[in-house]
Structure 1
Amino acid sequence: MTGSEAREERVLEAVGQRRELVNDAIPEELPITDPERLYEASRYLLDAGGKRLRPTVLLLVAEALADVEPLSADYRSFPSLNGSDVDVMAAAVSVETIQSFTLIHDDIMDDDDLRRGVPAVHREYDLETAILAGDTLYSKAFEIMLDTDAQADRTVRALDVLATTCTNICEGQALDVEFETSSDVLTEDYLEMIEQKTAVLYGASSSVPALLLGADDETVEQLYGYGIDVGRAFQIQDDVLDLTVPSEKLGKQRGSDLVEGKQTLLTLHAREQGVDVDSLVDAESVEAVTEAEIDEAVAELEAAGSIDYARDTAAELVESGKERLEVLPDNEARHLLEQLADYLIERGY
């Protein structure tokens, strides 16, 4: 087994252990009550699964800060840095609830049929119920974050991060839509967009436990930076995987971003190298594109150095993020956070 394979196995085990705990906590924090159809729709994607990467980051940061053995403490009554107990599991469910709300609304905007191997919420239920379900999850996330039993001033700061994060996500989504019809997007514009759309929720996941547990401002800032760096790397890796992983493993048509004209770090770099990105694929729809067309497009992007550029950028971001973890004690949870960052750019589907 190679070092990369051993790291992946270790990370997947750590994520899997915490995912099960988060899965058990979700029905406690989001019970299905009246009106049942609304709450069933709200829970639908959460119950369908998911890696739970963001709540895993949150729980690992808490473990590292408290300098406890991984999985040894009660997340519902977790020791803060001043001796009082905090329900960090509630905070973990809160950030996953935000993630689910964004997925429901993304699928509505993109008119997607599937999510996590099941029909999208607006397909399984209806458009009106899906919109309400997303809105319900958005508001419930704040209710859940209020229930951590942290000191009032720390709770307020955590809620401020969560609110700003939601605003940033919407701004990033708006930029993503705008970029689809823009011809003058630069790589720095793209990096700003994915920071808002994707990375800020990782930033919240890594900084909120520090706030709730009473860490100093420098630690909070560095942990937020860790989340931003690895969150951007995660999105760039997704862009690479969209072109390089077979369709059957992706669960969707390979190269769909390219066919749909979405701006990515790869296509922006290719344009800067003189590649006519708009002519790489002639298909009018994702359903009409062939694997041969995608292969040819990927070959051109590789020749332009664009795929290597994206991978190198993601790797640099991960290294930057890992350096920020030096504010944490040197313990097992910190090492897992470092390995998780590496996994985010080494993973396949």
Structure 2
Amino acid sequence: MTTSKAREETVLEAVRARRELVNEAIPEELPVQQPERLYEASRYLLDAGGKRLRPAVLLAAAEALADVEPLSTDYRSFPTLSGEEIDMMDAAVSVEVIQSFTLIHDDIMDDDDLRRGVPAVHREYDLETAILAGDTLYSKAFEIMLETGADPSRMVDALDVLATTCTKICEGQALDVTFEKRDNVAPEEYLEMVEQKTAVLYAASACLPAILQGADQETIDALYGYGLDIGRAFQIQDDVLDLTVPSDKLGKQRGSDLVEEKQTLITVHAREQGVDIEGLVDTEDVDAVTEAEIDDAVAELEKVGSIDYANETARDLVEQGKNRLSVLPDNEARELLCEIADYLIERSY
């Protein structure tokens, strides 16, 4: 039986291999050009790092569908189910560009100082440039997807998924903002919000290879469902990590979600158990909160079972997502998709 630590190492090695290829492709697809400051800001977070989990899911799903040995095929000339070749790397870069656009705008809305261990784009540059950089990445994602060379009808379907995904991300962000003004959010409402804000991009990443390669609708729907499930689990794990991982490892202040009174599955559950969430910390200033205050808050949340509830919900979602992969050939890439799903809720940062 594979241990959690061994699985994490296996997944990280597989993701790193694909990340390096995506990192090489990003400057090709998004070169710094005039006006240089705009494109430098657009590339800033992409160049700062990131695990590239969504492109890794996309490339692994493509490998599983094509039933090829992982990393054995040129992604720039990737086989479809009908025999022609497409540029799957463009699709992978496209979803990562969308991810970067959402991060820039999210940091602006939250007025966060750090992202990926470096100053947020609006801090490193300025607010106006950051907004334009996010908008540029949004439009560039569609331009890059158009370069895959897929059959026109499949390309229309792929662009439809990408556009719908961006709309849902905005809807999810709007719900998240609304939830901050409420103290009666139900767990089901929270899960709907993170489905739109976070999980839909995982869903798009998982199903786009099926669309571009010409798979049947059952396969497309199953992969989309897999992405929704693991994406929701990913966000729940992020909520847990925000409370349990040291700030220097997180790349931001531990407990910032709690201080800023953001709704998470943990706080939603705790309120249902009668916990005064607003009273867990004495400040609304993220920079002023102490480690001791966060430790005390976590102890209270653990006492009422809220962190265990979040962990259990995430595990159930991952199992559900993995079961959807039965539509794929039984191969190494499919197993990697299962391991990525497990990793998302076992990771420590």
Which of 174-183 and 316-325 deviates more? 174-183
- Paired residue for 2:147? 147
Aligned counterparts of 1:23 and 1:227: Cα–Cα separation in 2 = 22
Distance 2:25 2:163 in 1: 22
Q: Which residue of 2 aligns with 1:193?
A: 193
Mapping 1:114-193, distance limit 5 Å: 114-193=114-193
| Partner amino acid, structure 2, of 1:339 | E
Hey, what does 2:41 align to over in structure 1? 41
Shift of 1:113: 1.7
Q: Cα deviations across residues 62-116 of structure 1 (Å, max 9, x unaligned)? A: 0000000000001000000000001110000000000011111111111122211
Alignment-derived partner of residue 304 in structure 1: 304
Q: Displacement of 1:249 after TM fit?
A: 2.0
Shift of 1:277: 1.4
Report SS of the residue matched to 1:147: helix
Question: What TM-score comes out, normalization by structure 1 length?
Answer: 0.98
Q: Distance in 2 between matches of 1:172 and 1:328?
A: 30
What TM-score does the superposition give when structure 2 sets the normalisation length? 0.98
Q: Which residue of 1 aligns with 2:281?
A: 281
Secondary structure of 2:69 counterpart: coil
- Aligned equivalents of 2:206, 2:114: Cα separation in 1: 29
Partners of 2:114 and 2:288 in 1: CA distance = 18
- The residue that corresponds to 2:266 in the other structure is 266
Change in 2 beyond 3 A, CA 1:2/1:331:
closer
Identity of aligned residues (%): 79
One-letter amino acid of the structure 2 residue matched with residue 191 of structure 1:
L
Contact 2:115 2:251 in 1 (8 A): no
Superimposed CA distance per residue, residues 107-145 of structure 1 (whole angstroms, 9 cap, x where no aligned partner): 111112221122211122211111111111100100111
Indicate if the aligned counterparts of 2:115 and 2:252 stay in contact, CA closer than 8 A. no
SS at match of 2:315: helix
SS class of match (2:184): coil
Structure 1: stretches of 5+ with no match in the other structure: none
Could you say what secondary structure the match of 1:128 adopts? helix
Query: Where does structure 2 lack aligned partners over 5 or more consecutive residues?
Result: none
- The superposition leaves residues 276-300 of structure 1 with CA deviations (integer Å, 9 ceiling, x where unpaired) of 1121111231122122211111111
* Structure 1 residue 317 corresponds to structure 2 residue 317: yes
- The one-letter code matched in structure 2 to 1:268 is V
Q: Distance in 1 between matches of 2:323 and 2:165?
A: 23
* CA–CA distance in structure 2, aligned partners of residues 218 and 71 of structure 1: 26
Q: Deviations over 1:204-231 (max 9, x none)?
A: 0000010000000000000000000000
Separation in structure 2 between the aligned mates of residue 257 and residue 118 of structure 1, nearest angstrom = 19
Task: Give the length in aligned residue pairs.
Answer: 349
Structure 2 match to 1:5: 5
Output the CA distance in 2 between the equivalents of 1:284 and 1:6.
40
Match of 2:239 in 1: 239
For 2:296, what is the secondary structure of its paired residue?
A: helix
Once the two structures are TM-superposed, the CA of residue 333 in structure 1 deviates from its matched residue by 0.4
Match of 1:77 in 2: 77
Indicate the residue corresponding to 2:346 in structure 1: 346
| Residue identity opposite 1:222 in structure 2 | A
1:182, 1:272 → 2: CA distance?
Answer: 13
Paired residues of 2:114 and 2:251 also in contact (CA < 8 A): no
| Distance (whole Å) between structure 1 residues aligned to residue 115 and residue 254 of structure 2 | 16
Letter in 1 for 2:152: A
Instruction: Give the Cα separation in 1 of the matches to 2:135 and 2:246.
Output: 35
Secondary structure, aligned partner of 1:71: coil
Determine the C-alpha separation between the residues in 2 that align with 1:254 and 1:39. Answer: 31
